[in-house]
Amino acid sequence: MNNLTKPLLTVRNLKTYFKLDEGMVKAVDGVDFDVFPGQVVGIVGESGCGKSVTIKSALRIVEKPGEIVDGEILYHPQKNADANDGPVDLVTLKAHGKKMRDIRGNEIALIPQEPMAAFSPVHTIGNQLIEAVRLHQKVNKKQAFDIAVQALHEVGMPNPERRMGAYSWELSGGLRQRAMIAMALTCNPSLLIADEPTTAIDVTTQAQVLNLLRSLQERHNMSIIFITHDLGVIAQVADFVVVMYLGRVMETGTVDDIFHNPQHPYTKALLESIPTVHSPSKELLPTIEGSIPHPFNRPAGCPFYPRCADFMAGVCDKRTPSLQKINDKQSVSCFLHHDKAEEDEAA
């Protein structure tokens, strides 16, 4: 990871709500995290915790009636930017305005969750890659073709020139994912967002895609935000981890600290539910009791308290904990640590 102290992306108090007839859905409710140059940040949590809405907010592609109601997303442009230029608050940009479109796909690229749905079935892979190149680069069609072929070659696509004429439905799941990664790389982005890119592929292909992303990240010194519900994947690819639950950040820390020194009860419960080589055979794995609350019936106080083994009555169900640093590397949103943190600050 690059040791520069200035973050590439800074998210502060991000709130993205969906105003529905049935009520308000607080999909993202005060999220904070940073992404530094050359760093891989993993965002992990159960389905429905707000991971994908968080990155869609950063890209300004949240579907209506979703709306960013508060917070800031500060991005430091890397291309054609003066060293003295400050960050751009993406929240203040028009979602479909020229400045945001210059950033989206060019400086910040996305690998969507399902490439079969992301590619047009009636246009060839090559046509779509060429269109992505020419949208952000001043090149002719022949030059765009060469850039696209080179991108396919870099991601390990067999016979890249011939694949340019293929349709997405003619490719296997693994090849479609490689083509989608190639499209994201055509403009050499500074930040790559991967939204559960291994969910729809088999375990062997998943390992290949993870190795590919890691090698591409090191080769291009890109920053990556990796969205997943699989902590095993996070252990392989991430430098820094953000643990989310019901739209809020429960814990952040380096991958080593999260796995070897977890502090939040939710993080501990997630790790305990993962099988290991030391797990006793023919025994049920520990599970997190209950399920994520319905969005219209969010609990008061800490969102995790109804499922928490360390629940403190009169505290966790009355007040909402904020994300606070407990050491140089970790921050936790839990009253088990806040009193100690406040005592340390007072001392």
pLDDT band at 196 (very low <50, low <70, confident <90, very high): confident
Question: Which residue has better confidence, 55 or 205?
Answer: 55
Per-residue tokens: 256: 């080593």
Q: Across residues 324-337, what is the average pLDDT?
A: 91
Whether residue 37 has pLDDT greater than 90 = yes
| Radius of gyration for the alpha carbons in the chain, expressed in angstroms and rounded | 21
Residue 47 and residue 13 in contact, taking contact as beta carbons nearer than 8 Å: no
17 band by pLDDT with thresholds 50, 70 and 90: very high
Which helix (H) or strand (E) element contains residue 30? strand 23-35
Task: Report the sign of the C-alpha dihedral through residues 290, 32, 258, 229, in that order.
Answer: positive
> Is 174 in a helix, a strand, or coil?
helix
Compare 182 and 206 and report the one with higher pLDDT: 182
Q: Helix or strand or coil: residue 73?
A: strand
CB 323 within 8 A of CB 332: yes
CB-based contacts of 254, cutoff 8 Å, min separation 6: 239, 240, 241, 329, 330
Q: pLDDT confidence of 323, banded at 50, 70, 90?
A: very high
Residue 206: pLDDT band with limits 50, 70, 90: confident
Length of the chain: 347
pLDDT-based confidence at residue 82 (cuts at 50, 70, 90): low
